[in-house]
Structure 1
């Protein structure tokens, strides 16, 4: 193992050093570190052991103002707002200055201004789209039909099947061309086929939306035509395959040569489609959903051509709703923004204009953003966070007894070979062949869509370049790409409160560290366990690992099953548990006292003179056998050991999990096949296990358990596991950063306390009443406080940091705390 670790350590150092982006980085001036805690957001009168999320974020949750246009506002929205403001300054600098035609600055400024020129756009009405509508009306043959589908793919008009270029699952040095089922105006097939009232309501609103858009476009018989569009989409939805994103190569990786494509869709003119789509006749096309295309083939015969034309007309209008007049944009938002996503108001025109420039010319503004907002100091600091967490995770993996040797070796190999890129790419998109005009916003968008399509097709003739990013440096999300075994940390993510360059490292390990840890774990868990260290689709977990993982996951699901959805019910459960505990302790004391008295009586009686013959004589017939009572039997196995002291800062020992309990083998969330469970677990008689007695046993009590709506542990398992695992890895990374030292106290908090506060600050979120109501109606609803409280109560270090006592609401007996990674 030592040789393996040496190889791993060297590889990691090299990758982190060589792949961190230094392009445009600048050196910051030295800073004096502060705590990084937003003290004004805390509710210090709250007890950390009662509700840690409330303790850290309570004041912000009570007095924070939800932006008028948003239905929720969280830390990533904060980061996006800062990133957006910085990009706006870059764009407006370009818009205020006249640059030569064809320069990057000219394209940025003119695209921005063309979006904001609503006077010109409103005056043109539907006219910019009329050539497309005429092309649709001219469809008369199978060849015309295929040619239009090729155009709809180029223009991104949501055709019945879409083409995309992806990294090849069997050879990650090259790209593959793939189809994907598409063509629906609602999010998925359930929205068309379910009889639930909420879906019926959405379908009704969708129909009225199509009517309104047809009327704006001057389409006659809007009511009848809208009904025909929905009928056709419903039939398409019937053919859509369920959960096609399960990444099961055996089902999805179906490669066809050009001359074999008619085997799937014989009534479709593949010759015209391939030619007009700009594809070679030597093309190899991966078809993930074969049955869907066969169903689409049937529809080519059974569906009237005029209905297809109406369908194409609708999707051309729908795709361009935000590229035409303000009336189209407002109606589009009324349904997709308000009705479907509970957004309260449209974003400002400038905000939407910045998004347009980011979408079309993102690499141009991203290059400037990277130069102005990434310092060498920040880049190196984040690299060190990653390095410490990778080291800590690797060392811990060697001590996990449920991992098979082969699985362990592959996990270490993946961590050793992982590419970590910080800041931004070193290869940028060239926009030389994209024409942008200040007076043609619709044309700018159409040309941009075709330009991006052509850029994607060009990749088919190139090797995969691992330096090319699939996201912008101004984006705010850390991502892991399994096909490349690559971790991407963009500049936009490295902002407070996720990462604070002026803060002590404890806060940054709790916030940014847990986000990075989530991505690291994803490389060996979640979808990452289906891809080897070179990114090839090759599931590598052994069956024994799957079984052991299921057991640990079942323990987490069972733990969350005992959590009340409502905070008021949580309080009542805690009060009930304390009463039950007091009753059980009183009963135990009474039993012990009775037993002691019985023993005294027996001792006294043995000293009294005996009647009858001999000193051992006993009248068995007249003496009743003494009744004996025992303490309630503990439900915890005697073989469970207590947690040992942590031998090193990167190898904290947790108590082993009791694996003798039966588990539900249907539990499949986050298991190696990547599927997500939908089974509803019964929790009507659940009470919070954190309220049991300190020895982990379950006392019998005469108090009836309160019946409240509870968290569904199985349906929320993906999030609860992610929270517990990422926090555990981030903590070990922080401990490694300390190198055995204790963190300095700042602002009255120790380093360990600041670490947990940093994690909790990451989860502050505001919701609109409508958004919160929608979430509460979902079976997989997990109250936000449990993203914090549910994770920290599984960490031994949390109890030490805040001196959490057994009678506090968040207390969880040591033997019930779960640790997986």
Structure 2
């Protein structure tokens, strides 16, 4: 599917669906596996290699992966557990119609049925392809666009329903840029040889899809040109990933009448009718210029070009759900060219991921029942409270922040909505039908179920108890609109959280994760939202300027990092996540000191508790990655690469210098006056 979640949340890392193993009876260990280390490298030369070299050597990249790290290891191990759960339902005969077992089992079986998928070929999308090709007038573009939106296919721009950034208790209709399937504008505009090659390979992919769908080579080539013309035009006026990080600059609330005047040339009445909603009294247009450009394109380009564009969006969205030749074509571009992967995942993994993606909380209920221990949640809740106390102490210690701002910061910290493990109320999938017609048809029904669920919320209060990740997701997030921090059950397992380990490892790992998410409430984006989740300036005069001055040190530091020959890291794009790592480390270290001051831990395996704290942190980011994937992440990911979340973060933490006796002669040494000092 080409469906995206446009709610802005700050995550710990890359979202992954997984489940965790059950915990054994608690007993204290160091939590540090010495085999993960490479002590032939000194800590002050390359701490990433020092802490993670053994793990990286033991986990070389296989053909299936473009990046493989600790997140991926948990994901892979847990996929096998989910497979057992899902295949158990899929193997059952006569599951009750409409039951969770029937929906999960039938969807999985259809995703696995390669014989039927290959027999059907492009047939599941033929009716819609014909409908698009049968358009006779430009007035049909908007209705077709909205019809496709119902089934999860993005086109010219996107719309969604979520909290008004400046009135966070109310859900409103919102729109923003979209329409470019390569995701980032730079892929269409940069002129370096690598990006130019990606564009040429993208054109080949577009043409391949059209030919697989039955178009002649000549027609396919014309349609390639049409698609590239439209996507390039939209890309030219779209905002970059860095520009999208400014919440104030991406907020334009207006009335429906103002929308018609601001972006003329689109039939907005037809658009709302197509979505199946009443025209909203007020709405938020995140980025105006890209949608104005869409209006221009709709009115100036011939209908035939729009037909090509809509057809391609359908084929691209459906390709992974059709016959093997479509799946291979899509993987050859997105998997091989963009990410450097050599082979696609086996079908069972793709099927598990698909079921997880469409029926996430149904699978989540099964997962929680079988794998999540109550003791893990209890210990996690205690850790969160300890981290909140430590962050409060860190706020008080900041000399650059005025007392009035500190008071409001404490108010925000005290009102954090903490979610651990799984939701108290599960989503109701009763209205979603899984039928035995085609895999793609069920993907469309699942998308429409999600569409209807979202649009039913217009004008209604925001449900602050809703989860934006499933329990089986190995990740964590902070959501500024609800001022919430969320730690799904699946992250509560080693190396992040170890019920058998002592506090040194747990505060260095899950403690930093907690502190990371808390700090997001006060990073360059999160600090612009108040305790109620409203986008508003709550800082005293001068404090914001002092914050920006200190944050710029982080930007400049990361901008100087060369991630590949000739390719620099993007300090502006990664600022929020880098600040969250910085704050998370400082806050978790203080919380660790507080927790152990009355009963200090001893040396284990030759490492002090302080050293084990930082080794546990570094282990979270162990991993190998292909050059192609480094380029993708550098263009689009707000997270720094794993290596630099270690070697770029720790040189700004004085406690790390003290723990490992780092001196000015060490390559990672940064002079105190050049270090980041924010939280």
TM-score (norm 2): 0.89
CA shift, 1:566, in A, is 9.4
| 1:35 correspondence with 2:30 | yes
1:39-78 paired onto structure 2 within 5 Å: 39-78=34-73
Distance 1:713 1:92, change over 3 A: closer
Once the two structures are superposed, residues 204-256 of structure 1 have per-residue CA deviations (whole angstroms, 9 ceiling, x without a partner) of 11111111111111113212221122122222333434556234446523222
Distance 1:132 1:58, change over 3 A: same
> CA–CA distance in 2 between the matches of 1:454 and 1:777?
33
SS of corresponding position for 1:398: helix
Distance 1:804 1:296, change over 3 A: closer
Contact 1:712 1:779 survives alignment (8 Å): no
1:754 matched residue in structure 2: 612
| 1:83 correspondence with 2:78 | yes
Match for 1:735 among 589, 593, 600? 593
Contact 1:113 1:438 survives alignment (8 Å): no
Match for 1:108 among 93, 99, 104? 104
2:582 matched residue in structure 1: 724
Deviation >6 Å, runs of 4+: 25-29, 558-567, 708-716, 773-783
CA shift, 1:148, in A, is 1.0
1:235 matched residue in structure 2: 233
Which moved further from structure 2: 546-555 or 312-321? 546-555
2:517 matched residue in structure 1: 519
1:216 matched residue in structure 2: 212
Once the two structures are superposed, residues 421-466 of structure 1 have per-residue CA deviations (whole angstroms, 9 ceiling, x without a partner) of 1001112111111111244212111111111111111112532111
> CA–CA distance in 2 between the matches of 1:116 and 1:709?
41
Contact 1:475 1:492 survives alignment (8 Å): yes
Contact 2:339 2:628 survives alignment (8 Å): no
> CA–CA distance in 2 between the matches of 1:563 and 1:451?
44
| 1:160 correspondence with 2:156 | yes
> CA–CA distance in 2 between the matches of 1:391 and 1:408?
14
| 1:472 correspondence with 2:470 | yes
> CA–CA distance in 1 between the matches of 2:554 and 2:615?
23
Distance 1:769 1:160, change over 3 A: closer
Distance 1:482 1:203, change over 3 A: same
Distance 1:818 1:136, change over 3 A: closer
Contact 2:339 2:632 survives alignment (8 Å): no
Q: Which runs of 5 or more structure 2 residues have no equivalent in the other structure?
A: 1-19
1:453 matched residue in structure 2: 451
Which moved further from structure 2: 411-420 or 121-130? 121-130
Distance 1:138 1:555, change over 3 A: closer
> CA–CA distance in 2 between the matches of 1:312 and 1:78?
38
Contact 1:83 1:475 survives alignment (8 Å): no
2:13 matched residue in structure 1: none
Q: Which has the larger radius of gyration?
A: 1
Contact 2:67 2:625 survives alignment (8 Å): yes
Distance 1:301 1:813, change over 3 A: closer
Contact 2:519 2:579 survives alignment (8 Å): no
Distance 1:210 1:562, change over 3 A: closer
Contact 2:512 2:584 survives alignment (8 Å): yes
> CA–CA distance in 2 between the matches of 1:480 and 1:307?
41
> CA–CA distance in 2 between the matches of 1:563 and 1:134?
51
Contact 1:522 1:528 survives alignment (8 Å): yes
> CA–CA distance in 1 between the matches of 2:400 and 2:82?
48
> CA–CA distance in 2 between the matches of 1:66 and 1:516?
29
1:645 matched residue in structure 2: none
CA shift, 1:40, in A, is 1.3
Contact 2:37 2:50 survives alignment (8 Å): yes
Contact 1:165 1:178 survives alignment (8 Å): yes
Question: Quick one: higher RCO (CA 8 Å, sep 6+), 1 or 2?
Answer: 2
CA shift, 1:130, in A, is 1.3
CA shift, 1:565, in A, is 7.1
> CA–CA distance in 1 between the matches of 2:537 and 2:347?
47
> CA–CA distance in 2 between the matches of 1:730 and 1:487?
15
For this pair of structures, how many residues does the alignment match? 656
SS of corresponding position for 2:521: helix
Contact 2:476 2:486 survives alignment (8 Å): yes
Distance 1:771 1:742, change over 3 A: same
SS of corresponding position for 2:168: coil
2:244 matched residue in structure 1: 245
CA shift, 1:540, in A, is 2.3
CA shift, 1:484, in A, is 0.2
TM-score (norm 1): 0.74
Q: Which runs of 5 or more structure 1 residues have no equivalent in the other structure?
A: 1-24, 568-707
CA shift, 1:382, in A, is 1.4
Once the two structures are superposed, residues 275-323 of structure 1 have per-residue CA deviations (whole angstroms, 9 ceiling, x without a partner) of 2321114554322233333322222221111221111111111111112
Contact 1:728 1:819 survives alignment (8 Å): no
Contact 1:239 1:296 survives alignment (8 Å): no
> CA–CA distance in 1 between the matches of 2:122 and 2:636?
40
Match for 2:307 among 306, 309, 332? 309
> CA–CA distance in 2 between the matches of 1:536 and 1:119?
52
> CA–CA distance in 1 between the matches of 2:435 and 2:568?
57
Distance 1:229 1:247, change over 3 A: same
1:582-621 paired onto structure 2 within 5 Å: none
> CA–CA distance in 2 between the matches of 1:191 and 1:809?
35
Contact 2:207 2:220 survives alignment (8 Å): yes
